[in-house]
Structure 1
Amino acid sequence: MRKHSKVLFAGMVGNILEWYDFVVYGFLAVIIGELFFPSEDPMVSLLKSFGVFAVGFVMRPVGAVMFGHIGDKYGRKKALTISIVMMAVSTTAIGLLPTYAQIGILAPTLLVILKLLQGLSVGGEYTTSVSFIVEHAPQDKRGLFGSVGILGAVVGILLGSASGAVITKILPEEDLYSWGWRVLFFTGILLGLIGYYVRKNIDETPKFMELEYEEMIDKQPVLDVFKKAYKEFIKTFSLSTFQAVGFYTIFVYIANHLSVFVKFPKSTALTINTISMIVLAVLIPFFGWLSDKVGRKPIILTSTGFTVLTAYPLFKFVSSGAVENALIGQIIFAVVVAGFMSILPTTLVEIFPTQIRNSGYSIGYNLPFAIFGGTAPLISTYLIKITGDINSPAFYLIFAAAVAFAAGITLKETAKEPLQ
């Protein structure tokens, strides 16, 4: 049991750090915009700050190729150790950066470079950590173990939100701008050191060690994904599209939607979002456990099918103007997508053979996040602009859920099968 706890923590810690930074950067976007991209128009500063944030998404598929290759050729442990060091160093370095007022154009240039490094490490971190956890898991608990990867992301978001709320409450604005914003990034070094220590002192997965022993390591795993497992890659891409759109629409975009279009105070919108994420965090391990009993496929089809049917009425309910409706609607959204999000990690690990698992899963998962995930808030806002309907972001959710439902129908049930 102690060995399994260590495995779960080793897999989870990088995801906590990754999503903690994601939230902290978003939370501090206004401050970063003014300090690194000074402009007479605050909107220009903010847009440039978010532009740098988007740069990290572009690097995710590159990181997926790089760390997918390392994980399949040299081991999951090596890929995870490199990724957490890269992530911790780049996160901490952002906190140490001089501002535009101190070194001019070099400040935003260095910020872009560090966000590129972060994007690179993120591209391999999550998927490699899930492969690592599931390959260590007992056969009858793979769904439960795999759900811990996405649970780490939710914990990271809640930690980032809590840290941001505390520091803005206790510090005056002047201190927040001069040094306070840096403190949130320094937390990265603490999480990074703990994660590095745990990962350095943990065993490689039994499945990868089998490959080494039998001298069956794939020399070109990325190429072989498209030669030998292109159907599995297409399924991974299709299913991950709903994960990307669902997560960024429901748990990132809606908080802004409630503030901008429904005219709730920002604190109310964020409180609703936080409560729904706590519900999501509680349900993730439950659905992971349930999938070990009833299978992955029924839960995937139920979750995506319900989203297709309920996304528009739920959006209408959330946008009605009543705080209690928004809270109930957001919680229902969390329940509907929790099943899908909790078991997708294990499902995607199970459909690839060990030799090319890390590459297939990493690339197939990260590409839709770069294409559909990072752009979900932008597309949601654009849909409202062209339709005049504040509930139209639901159409994007319905599209992504329908794509995933179609892919889900073609899935072979893998819950009771040994890993390939």
Structure 2
Amino acid sequence: MSSPYRAIFAAPGARSFSAAGLLARMPLSMMGIGIVTMTSEITGEYGLAGALSAALALATAAMGPQVSRLVDRYGQRRVLRPATLFSVAATACLLLGARLRWPHWTLFVLVLGVGAVPSVGAMVRARWAALYRDSPHHLHTAYSAESVIDELVFIAGPVLAIGLSTGWFPEAGPLLAGVFLLLGVFWLTAQRATEPPPSGTAHGGGGSALRSGGLRVLVGTSVALGALFGSIEVVTVAFAEELGHKALSSVVLAVWALGSCIAGTVFGLLRPKGEPARRWLVGVCVMAVSMIPLQLVGNLPSLTVALFFAGLAIAPTMVTTMALVERHVPRANLTEGMTWTSTGMAVGAALGSSLAGAVVDASGAGTGYAVPGVAGALAAVGAFLGYRRLRSARERVSRRTGTSVPRPRGGSGAHDGDTSKGTNHGVGEDERVA
């Protein structure tokens, strides 16, 4: 492991809470596709399977920020455990209902309960933010590591979910996802030393994180980027099927994620200079431009190459997005703010996948790549329009809060072994994230 990553994981508890976050995040990539596979295997109704998956995505998008807002106010342990138990119980009932062929409306009610799953990625990033509040370079590396973990989850999760549900028994995929969630969240919340203190006892926050103009810009752009991600997945499967190699679509999409993994790993080794908002704008624009080659591909090898290079822009842009959230959102709403960007992507992915499916049905898979192309263009336009607000919003947030990211329980700030950084407790808002 390269030295910047070794340094961040040297902090007491860092390896443990990151590993717990990895386990608890597996349902993010397993539950939706697991429910689709389970439902189609049991009932043969792909329409019902897709509708349940869409309902899950919307439920998660609606409830995720609310769960995170409660976490900011009351703490991770007090909120995540009951929320997880509720979600896992709903999952168990959903599996039973699918097996016993309960009425369809009951399945939709149950899948809404499954959507109460907490945004574990935001919880882990909040711990990193509390741990390295005074060490922006180490926080940058930590966010990069988490972005790579996200990509690994999306590489391994669908393979596990589909393989178990088709090779063992239909409910196996979502069942394992529920087990991962339960074990991961309880492992994470057992680690009290690195848990950020709740705002209700430390800062007395209040109000929604969306009051931040900068966050609204990030969330709006995240919707467009989510549409880009969701549509690419649907169109790539259809494109591979048209060429007679549907099974290879998972390999092509894995190469796309691999490109993001590599870029995220390298990005974490760097110490970016200059304005983060500018880097974010450039990243969004590069993602938009990377959609152009997809309009020209005619076979799977060329598509694989195009998606690999398109993936290189993803992780750096997502890392910078989280850094901007940490910079612009009041400290008492940090977890909620991070969750809102994920929510925006989830909503966008649902819209993008639906639109892409309609375009593919009407005009074929080749035409379908126009959907991520348009989504990328919309993201770039939104980034340009919101750039000035993103730059100025940080100053208003700094004046409004005047506080630092809360230290973890029992923590002592940065554990990087570099006393030349992270010791200036008077660092201004503009200097906290490189």
Place the TM-score, normalised by the shorter chain, in its bin. 0.7 to 0.9
Alpha-carbon distance in 2 for matches of 1:355, 1:202: 20
Give distance in 2, aligned partners of 1:86 and 1:143. 34
2:305 match = 328
- The counterpart of 1:350, out of the listed 327, 333, 354, is 327
Q: Structure 1: which 4+ aligned runs deviate by more than 6 Å? A: 385-388, 413-416
Amino acid at match of 2:187: V
Cα 1:288/1:263, change in 2 over 3 Å: same
Partner of residue 370, structure 2: 392
Distance 2:90 2:102 in 1: 20
CA distance in 1: counterparts of 2:85 and 2:124, whole angstroms? 14
The 2-side partners of 1:192 and 1:392 are apart by 36
- Please list, as runs of the form range in 1=range in 2, the aligned pairs for 1:38-77 lying within 5 A after superposition: 45-77=45-77
Q: 1:197 to 1:353 in 2, by over 3 A?
A: same
Q: Deviations over 1:100-121 (max 9, x none)?
A: xx4542xx34432332122222
Distance 1:289 1:33 in 2: 48
Structure-1 separation of matches of 2:195 and 2:164: 43
Identity of aligned residues (%): 10
CA contact (8 A) 1:248 1:376 kept: yes
Q: Which runs of 5+ in 2 are unaligned?
A: 1-9, 395-427
Task: Tell me: CA distance 1:62–1:327, structure 2 relative to 1, closer, same or farther (3 Å).
Answer: closer
User: Do the aligned partners of residues 119 and 329 (structure 1) sit closer, same or farther apart at CA in structure 2, a change above 3 Å counting?
Assistant: same
- Using structure 1 for the length normalisation, give the TM-score: 0.78
Report the equivalent of 2:355: 379
Distance in 2, matches of 1:205 and 1:381, equals: 43
Distance 2:98 2:358 in 1: 35
Instruction: Provide the rounded CA distance (Å) in 1 between the counterparts of 2:341 and 2:157.
Output: 27
Contact 1:32/1:49, CA 8 A, preserved across alignment: no
- Residues 28-64 of structure 1 show CA distances to partners (whole Å, capped at 9, x for unaligned) of 4521442xxxxxxxxxx21122111111222234313
Report the aligned-residue RMSD: 3.2
Cα separation, partners in 2 of 1:306 and 1:62, compared to 1, 3 Å:
closer
C-alpha offsets along residues 222-276 of structure 1, whole Å, 9 cap, x if unaligned?
A: 3xx45xx3413322322322431232233x223323235x534111222211222
Is the Cα contact below 8 Å between 1:239 and 1:408 reproduced in 2?
Answer: no
Q: Is 2:127 the partner of 1:135?
A: no
- Do 1:245 and 1:400's aligned partners in 2 also have CA atoms closer than 8 Å? no
Q: Give the stretch that moved more between structures: 159-168 or 327-336.
A: 159-168
Counterpart for residue 219 of structure 2:
237
Residue 80 in structure 1 maps to residue 80 in structure 2? yes
Q: Within the alignment, does 1:118 sit opposite 2:97 as a pair?
A: no
Residues 1:217 and 2:204 aligned together: yes
Q: CA offset at residue 408 of structure 1?
A: 4.2
Residue 5 of structure 2 corresponds to none
Q: Give the aligned residue type for 1:418.
A: R
Contact 1:259 1:266 in 2 (8 A): yes
Asked whether the equivalents of residues 384 and 392 of structure 1 are also in contact (C-alpha less than 8 Å), the reply is no
1:14 match: 24
Structure 1 residues 282-336: Cα deviation after superposition (integer angstroms, max 9, x where no partner): 3323324436566633432222222333422x11233x1x221111011111113
- After the TM superposition, which residues 98-109 of structure 1 pair with which residues of structure 2 at under 5 Å, given as runs? 99=99, 102=100, 104-105=102-103, 108-109=104-105
Q: Which of residues 265, 274, 280 is equivalent to 2:254?
A: 274
Q: Report what 1:161 is aligned to.
A: 158
Higher helix share: 1
Match of 1:299 in 2: 279
- Number of equivalences: 383
Tell me which amino acid in the other structure corresponds to 1:302: V
**Corresponding residue number in structure 1 for 2:190:** 201
Match of 2:174 in 1: 185
Q: What is the SS of the residue equivalent to 1:208? A: coil
Cα deviation digits, residues 162-220 of structure 1 (max 9, x gap)? 32464478x4xxxx5xxx112223323442343133223212657536x566x5322x4
